[in-house]
Amino acid sequence: MRKLIASIALFVIFTNSLHASENTGPLTIELSEPNIRITIPGMPEIDMGVHPMNEHEPNFRLLGESDRISVSVITPNIDAAITPMSCASAVASLILSLNDVTREQLFLGRANEETFLIIYGLPMDSSVLLNTHIVSSVKTNQCIEAHVSKTSTSDSDIEPWFSGFGDSGIENL
């Protein structure tokens, strides 16, 4: 377990390029309101359904699971104008406040001009929960966040996880 956590820390420090996994096609999620397309490379096809918290928290939109991978889509409205970078900064601050993770353990990067990535691992009993938040904004007042997580028990999962989201995207349709 320590080796897995140490590998994550070292990988985050030395990662300087991101690329998509060539093993699996991208997972594509489309919403009609807001009218967006989320593309997540290297993910298996996952059936997305209404998020179980949607009834009481309408910003929690979709949730899907496949094997050890979970994907959720959250679309909070913000009272003021917001940029994709502002959304990413707000999500990173929330992650730091809610999880047992430090700023040094977060990989913050850009997939493209409008899409930001926040990648990290959380230690669990004999495993690590690998997390990626793909973040952007639309309509100048709505953040878009796709949260992908995977329970990992193998060092071999770390490199593909931290380098596999470079072609992710959130785009207006």
Mind listing the pLDDT tens digit for each residue in 23-55?
566 899 999 888 999 999 988 889 999 999 999
Cα–Cα distance measured from residue 25 to residue 19, given in angstroms and rounded to the nearest whole number: 13
Mind listing the pLDDT tens digit for each residue in 70-85?
999 999 887 777 899 9
Cα–Cα distance measured from residue 83 to residue 144, given in angstroms and rounded to the nearest whole number: 11
**What SS3 class is residue 67?**
coil
Average pLDDT, the chain: 83
pLDDT of residue 123: 84
The reported pTM is 0.84
CATH number of 2-172: 3.40.1000.10
Mind listing the pLDDT tens digit for each residue in 93-112?
999 998 788 888 889 999 99
Among 51, 34, 53, smallest CA distance to 137 is for 34
User: Is the model's pLDDT at 137 over the cut of 70?
Assistant: yes
